[in-house]
C-alpha cells in the first residue's frame, strides 16, 4: 500500500481548504474512459480533492481503483476520498471517506482512525448541525439543484436555502447536486468555496481543460 503524502488531519484540512472544484468520479459517468484516466486528468487540471464513488460495483473494484489512484494523488498533491466505505478507504491508504446519512456514523468512523478525513452528506440545517457536532471534518450540502446522477430522495435545496444553512456551519463544506459551470458565480456569492461536480467534469471532452476552466470561475 502506498502511503498518502498527507499524514495528519491538520495537513488534510489545509489541503481541503485550498481546494475549489471537487470532482466526484463514477465509472458510469466517464463516457467509457477509465476512472484512472479521468482521475489523472482532473489532477492535471489542478483539482486538489477528488472523490471515487462507485454505487454499482463491489468493494473489490473500488479498492483496486483506489490503489491505482493513490500514486497519482501523491504525485499531484491531491486528497483522495472514498465514498461510503470506511474499510476501503483505510485499506487502500486513502486520505478520507465521505459518508451518507445511511452509512456508518461519523462517530463510528472516527473510532477506527484518528487521521482519516471524514465528510458527511447533509440535506438540511438539522443534518448539517448534527454532522458538525458529531465531529465531521467537512460536510456536503445538497442537492442544490435537481440531479440525475444519484437517487438522493431529497428535493433540491436551491441557493436561498444554502444561504440560510451556511452561517451555521463552522467547518469546511462543499455543495453538490446538478451544478454546472454557469452556477459557480452565484454559489461562490452564497458562500460556497468548494464545489463538487460529476458529469460537468467527467463527461467533458477534455477533462483537464474543463477543470482549469471551472477553477477560473472562482
Q: Which of 77, 87, 88 is nearest to 108 (CA)?
A: 87
Q: What is the CA angle 79-73-86, rounded to 5? A: 50
175 near 143, Cβ under 8 Å? no
Question: Residue 151's pLDDT is what?
Answer: 61
Question: Residue 2's pLDDT is what?
Answer: 86
Residue 58 C-alpha cell reads as 463491489
Q: Which of 68, 38, 74 is nearest to 200 (CA)?
A: 38
**Each residue's pLDDT tens digit, 80-129:** 999 999 999 999 999 999 999 999 999 999 999 999 999 999 999 999 99
- Alpha carbon 161 to its chain centroid, in Å, reads 20
Give the Cα separation of 78 and 74 in Å (integer). Answer: 6
How many residues are given for the chain? Answer: 218
Question: Residue 149's pLDDT is what?
Answer: 67
Mean pLDDT of successive 10-residue stretches along the chain, which has 218 residues: 92 98 97 97 98 94 97 97 98 98 97 98 98 98 86 84 96 97 96 97 98 97
pTM given for the model:
0.96
Residue 119: left if φ>0, alpha if ψ -120 to 50, beta else—which one?
beta
What end-to-end distance do the CA atoms of the chain give, in Å? 35
Give the architecture (CATH level 2) of 9-215: Alpha-Beta Barrel (3.20)
Question: Residue 150's pLDDT is what?
Answer: 62
Question: Residue 152's pLDDT is what?
Answer: 60
Question: Residue 148's pLDDT is what?
Answer: 74
Question: Residue 1's pLDDT is what?
Answer: 78
Q: What is the CA angle 56-183-150, rounded to 5? A: 15
Amino acid at each position: 500500500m502506498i502511503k498518502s503524502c498527507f499524514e495528519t488531519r491538520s495537513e488534510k484540512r489545509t489541503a481541503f481548504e485550498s481546494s475549489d472544484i471537487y470532482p466526484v468520479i463514477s465509472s458510469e459517468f466517464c463516457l467509457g474512459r477509465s476512472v484512472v484516466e479521468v482521475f489523472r486528468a482532473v489532477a492535471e487540471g489542478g483539482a486538489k480533492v477528488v472523490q471515487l464513488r462507485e454505487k454499482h460495483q463491489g468493494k473489490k473494484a473500488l479498492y483496486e481503483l483506489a490503489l491505482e489512484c493513490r500514486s497519482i494523488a501523491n504525485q499531484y498533491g491531491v486528497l483522495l476520498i472514498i465514498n461510503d466505505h470506511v474499510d476501503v478507504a483505510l485499506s487502500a491508504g486513502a486520505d478520507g471517506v465521505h459518508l451518507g446519512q445511511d452509512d456508518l456514523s461519523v462517530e463510528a468512523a472516527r473510532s477506527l482512525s484518528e487521521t482519516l478525513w471524514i465528510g458527511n452528506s447533509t440535506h438540511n440545517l438539522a443534518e448539517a448541525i448534527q454532522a458538525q457536532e458529531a465531529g465531521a471534518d467537512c460536510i456536503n450540502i445538497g442537492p442544490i439543484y435537481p440531479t440525475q446522477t444519484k437517487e438522493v430522495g431529497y428535493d433540491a435545496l436551491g441557493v436561498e436555502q444554502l444561504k440560510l444553512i451556511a452561517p451555521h456551519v463552522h467547518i469546511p463544506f462543499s455543495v453538490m447536486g446538478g451544478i454546472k459551470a454557469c452556477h459557480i458565480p452565484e454559489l461562490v456569492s452564497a458562500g460556497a468555496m468548494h464545489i463538487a461536480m460529476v458529469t460537468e467534469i467527467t463527461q467533458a471532452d477534455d477533462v483537464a481543460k474543463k477543470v482549469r476552466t471551472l477553477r477560473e470561475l472562482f
